[in-house]
């Protein structure tokens, strides 16, 4: 494991690799407001042990990557797409297997459409063909009430400079996204604490991704994806209920859907690691 800083336009992105650079590369693309710490070390090590070079990185405004003032991101959603390509360039990779989760799944879809030569295979977890459902997307179910209430809340944000209070708020903020698998609170605390301690500006990390403009893929473009695609999705996802995954798998030619029983909208909990690692290794063979 070695961290490095990779240039991406006016930003510097912190990235880290696991395993041998001679093995097939898998780029992990994280979700909104989440540093690469949420791709847990042991999870990455298990994939690397199966003969893969695993690369994770901090998106802009997370971890040690370039941070912008909270509420004023100096970039667009489209730049998060080109940032992933910059990470590949930083590792000298003309192409790689992409594994994106949530917003990272949207980024991976865009790369597969706009830059197909950079994608060997595509793995999409906890994501959607068009974002949260609603009146304008009647074929996709809306988020569960507890998640809708979280997004609609006008409660003031915590004092992000207060380490203990901020960590407690971040842990509490994950609860509405849990599924039926009991959360490992010690693990969650360890990940959140590491994220807090590595992040340049926690206020920016918890604000800026939610207000970005641009970078949204036209749903009709999914039919143009040629990369072999694996769709992983929790059956108890409260943000993007399971029919989002079914729609995604229908709209990407040849995509294969693997349900993850009881998982919510989250990075893979330990309970599904055996399934996720086996599916990912087979898919990227």
> Is the model's pLDDT at 10 over the cut of 70?
yes
Rounded Cα distance, 8 and 260, in Å: 34
The residue among 110, 107, 94 whose CA lies nearest residue 25 is 94
Domains of the chain by start residue, with CATH: 2-283 (3.40.50.1820)
- pLDDT mean over 135-144: 90
pTM: 0.97
Catalytic residue among 102, 126, 128, 205: 102
Confidence of residue 256 (pLDDT cuts 50, 70, 90): very high
- Please confirm, yes or no, whether 102 is among the known catalytic residues: yes
> Is the model's pLDDT at 259 over the cut of 70?
yes
Query: What phi, psi does 6 have (nearest 5°)?
Result: -115, 130
Confidence of residue 141 (pLDDT cuts 50, 70, 90): very high
Which are the contacts of 277, defined by CB distance < 8 A and separation ≥ 6?
43, 46, 47, 50
pLDDT tens digit sequence for 196-249? 999 999 999 999 999 999 878 899 999 999 999 999 999 999 999 999 999 999
Name the more confident of 133 and 174: 174
Predicted local confidence at residue 135, as pLDDT:
80
> Is the model's pLDDT at 1 over the cut of 70?
no
> Is the model's pLDDT at 114 over the cut of 80?
yes
- Please confirm, yes or no, whether 97 is among the known catalytic residues: no
Catalytic residue among 209, 237, 244, 283: 237
> Is the model's pLDDT at 182 over the cut of 90?
yes
- pLDDT mean over 245-254: 98
- Please confirm, yes or no, whether 35 is among the known catalytic residues: no
Strands 2-8 vs 11-18: parallel, antiparallel or unpaired: antiparallel
Rounded Cα distance, 128 and 101, in Å: 10
pLDDT tens digit sequence for 60-112? 999 999 999 999 999 999 999 999 999 999 999 999 999 999 999 999 999 99
């Amino acid at each position: 494991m070695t961290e490095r800083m990779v240039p991406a336009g006016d930003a510097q992105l912190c990235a880290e690799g696991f395993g041998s650079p001679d093995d097939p590369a898998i780029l992990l693309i994280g979700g909104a407001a989440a540093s690469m710490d949420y791709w847990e070390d042991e999870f990455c090590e298990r994939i690397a042990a199966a003969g893969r070079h695993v690369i994770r990185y901090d998106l802009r405004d997370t971890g040690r990557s370039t941070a912008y003032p909270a509420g004023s991101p100096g970039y667009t959603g489209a730049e998060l797409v080109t940032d992933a390509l910059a990470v590949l360039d930083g590792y000298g990779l003309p192409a790689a297997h992409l594994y994106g989760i949530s917003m990272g799944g949207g980024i991976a879809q865009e790369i597969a459409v706009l830059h197909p030569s950079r994608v060997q295979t595509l793995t999409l977890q906890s994501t959607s063909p068009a974002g949260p459902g609603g009146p304008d997307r009647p074929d996709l179910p809306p988020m569960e009430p507890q998640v809708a209430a979280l997004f609609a809340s006008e409660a003031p944000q915590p004092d992000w400079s207060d380490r203990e209070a901020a960590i407690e708020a971040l842990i509490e903020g994950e609860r509405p996204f849990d599924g039926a698998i009991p959360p490992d609170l010690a693990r969650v605390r360890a990940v959140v604490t590491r994220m807090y301690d590595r992040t340049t500006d926690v206020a920016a990390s918890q604000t800026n991704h939610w207000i970005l403009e641009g970078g949204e893929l036209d749903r009709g473009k999914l039919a143009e994806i040629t990369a072999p695609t694996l769709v992983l999705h929790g059956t108890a996802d409260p943000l993007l209920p399971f029919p989002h995954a079914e729609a995604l798998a229908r709209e990407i030619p040849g995509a294969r859907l693997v349900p993850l029983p009881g998982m919510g909208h989250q990075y893979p909990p330990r309970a599904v690691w055996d399934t996720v690692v086996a599916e990912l290794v087979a898919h990227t063979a």
